[in-house]
Chains A and B, each alone.
Chain A
Amino acid sequence: MSNTITILFFGQLQDITGSNRAQVSMASNTDLLREQLIAQFPLLEETTYVMTVDRKIVRQNTPVDERSEIALLPPFSGG
């Protein structure tokens, strides 16, 4: 089992994370991933986004493994 997992960031979340992806320590579920993300990027806590696991939106704690693809997507307003 790999000891890190990649998280993808879209849109202006990249202003908070500084990049379109970040590595965090492998965790068994999305609640633990969220905690780590907020510890690393505190501004995420006050920001609107949806988290997806394997391109499905997760609203509740969801198990993840090293093959899971995790992404954070914010709303866009521009037109």
Chain B
Amino acid sequence: MNVRRSHYFHHSRVVKSQLMQANRSYERYHRQIILKGFGIGAQQKLTGARVLVVGAGGLGCPVLMALTGAGVGTIGIADDSRVELSNLHRQFLYTTHDIGKPKTGCAKAALEAMNPDVSIVAYHTHLTNSVALEIIRDYDIVIDGTDNFQTRYMLNDACALTGKPLVYGAVSRFEGQVAVFNGHVNYRDLFPHPPKSGEVSNCSEAGVLGVLPNLIGNFMANECIKLITGTGETLSGKMLTYSALDNNVFIIDITPTAEGFTLLPKSATDFLRMDYPSLCGVLNDESIEIDAKEFSRLVSSGDISVIDVREEEEMPSLKNLSYRRIPLSFLLKNIDGLKEGAVVFICQSGKRSLQAARTYRDADIANHGQTYSLKDGVNGLITQGLFV
């Protein structure tokens, strides 16, 4: 009897607490629940939704705050940067005390304080194609709040491949763009190829008005909420440009293109093989440069050519190594005629060979991922006692 009574009381306490929680939630979201065409149904869809926000900067902050306020059930945040003083004029999730701390941690704490109903998952990582599919799999919608083309193209391709809706936003000084890529078009139908490196400046180079990304981020959050709840009309197949200077809104239609489709990776394997940094002209020297030991290993494995870019008379020449000499000045002039498989460039100190490798990697797209430069050059080989 006692047992049953206590069970009954326990059960009633649970029910009561669930009711109180439901009441609190009802009260928290009351002002949007009473909207005609929204209601409890839309609120429940938000509670059940999982949204990944990539980039917790100028666009990410307002998106995160708006989605947390609206009661999106699970929100992922991917970013690998730390809070800087120059962020604070526009990134309102962070305070002066957060400077130097990882953004994901600060954002998670601030958002959980705003709304404890929402579960925040922090990924303190630079999202690349090696992990993107695994992370995106857990979410219904992806938000692009990044600040560079390599991640933008990578996210676009990942979402097109997996069929996840992508809410895109980008800013430049006083203007912002917003679009929804949801199945029939993708960012490559707008801009098939990334612009050349250095052609388009980011916020740190070109500047940005503090309120602008907050406006654009809220446009993005609005698109996301409409996608989840089925309310209204989204920007699917359209791109909106807003100018803070004159309040002009300019919406264009995006139609599918053969090129935009052709350039997409068609399988997870294709996607993993994509080299987004070099596609966007961002050369990661770390992935080009190899040390003397790695050089020795590659050469003994056979399938790689070695090109010495020193001038003809430069010494020492190398022993027990099959290589060609093409002085850098000649090579740079004739780079288009060069067709190599895997290739490693060498010189005396590793500087000229790095330039050769960068240039060749840019010139021969088919060769991406197989071009190397010997770090520290022949000097490094001498130190290691290799090939001399």
For the complex, what is the distance from the CA of A55 to the CA of B202, rounded to whole Å? 26
Residue ranges of B at the interface with A (Cβ–Cβ < 8 Å)? 55, 57-60, 144-149, 152, 169-173, 175-177, 190-191, 193-196, 199-203, 206, 208, 213, 239, 241, 243, 250-255, 257
Q: Is the CB of B171 within 8 A of A79?
A: yes
Chain B residues within an 8 Å CB radius of A50: 190-191, 252
Q: Is the CB of B170 within 8 A of A79?
A: yes
Say yes or no for A25: interface residue by CB 8 A criterion: no
Contact flag A77-B202 (CB < 8 Å), given A10-B250, A55-B252: yes
Partner of B208, one of A10, A48, A71, A78: A78
For the complex, what is the distance from the CA of A61 to the CA of B160, rounded to whole Å? 29
Q: Is the CB of B169 within 8 A of A59?
A: no
* Smallest CB gap from A69: residue in B: B250
Q: Is the CB of B147 within 8 A of A79?
A: yes
Chain A residues within an 8 Å CB radius of B60: 79
Chain A residues within an 8 Å CB radius of B144: 79
Q: Is the CB of A48 within 8 A of B171?
A: no
Q: Is the CB of B195 within 8 A of A48?
A: yes
Say yes or no for A62: interface residue by CB 8 A criterion: no
What are 5 A-B pairs with beta-carbon distances under 8 A? Answer: A11-B172, A12-B206, A57-B252, A79-B144, A79-B203
CB distance from B176 to the nearest CB of A (A): 7
Q: Is the CB of A76 within 8 A of B175?
A: yes
Q: Mark A28-62, 1 if CB is under 8 A from B, else 0.
A: 00000000000000000011101010011101000
- How many chain A residues touch B (CB < 8 A): the figure is 22
For the complex, what is the distance from the CA of A63 to the CA of B280, rounded to whole Å? 33
Chain B residues within an 8 Å CB radius of A8: 250
* Smallest CB gap from B146: residue in A: A79
Contact flag A57-B190 (CB < 8 Å), given A77-B147, A78-B203: yes
Q: Is the CB of A12 within 8 A of B172?
A: yes
For the complex, what is the distance from the CA of A79 to the CA of B177, rounded to whole Å? 10
Chain A residues within an 8 Å CB radius of B145: 79
Top 7 closest pairs, chain A to chain B, by CB? A76-B170, A79-B147, A48-B195, A78-B203, A76-B172, A78-B171, A79-B59
Q: Is the CB of B257 within 8 A of A59?
A: yes
Partner of B170, one of A55, A57, A77: A77
Say yes or no for A74: interface residue by CB 8 A criterion: yes
Partner of B149, one of A12, A20, A73, A77: A77
Say yes or no for A18: interface residue by CB 8 A criterion: no
Contact flag A55-B250 (CB < 8 Å), given A10-B241, A78-B170: yes
CB distance from B45 to the nearest CB of A (A): 27
Contact flag A75-B149 (CB < 8 Å), given A48-B199, A57-B190: yes
Chain A residues within an 8 Å CB radius of B55: 79
Chain B residues within an 8 Å CB radius of A10: 175, 241, 243, 250
Q: Is the CB of B190 within 8 A of A78?
A: no
Chain A residues within an 8 Å CB radius of B257: 59
CB distance from A22 to the nearest CB of B (A): 16
CB distance from A55 to the nearest CB of B (A): 5
* Smallest CB gap from B258: residue in A: A59
CB distance from A49 to the nearest CB of B (A): 9
Q: Is the CB of B59 within 8 A of A77?
A: no
Chain B residues within an 8 Å CB radius of A76: 170-172, 175-177, 200
CB distance from A75 to the nearest CB of B (A): 5
For the complex, what is the distance from the CA of A8 to the CA of B241, rounded to whole Å? 12
Q: Is the CB of A77 within 8 A of B252?
A: no
For the complex, what is the distance from the CA of A57 to the CA of B145, rounded to whole Å? 24
CB distance from B257 to the nearest CB of A (A): 7
Chain B residues within an 8 Å CB radius of A59: 257
Partner of B58, one of A48, A75, A78: A78
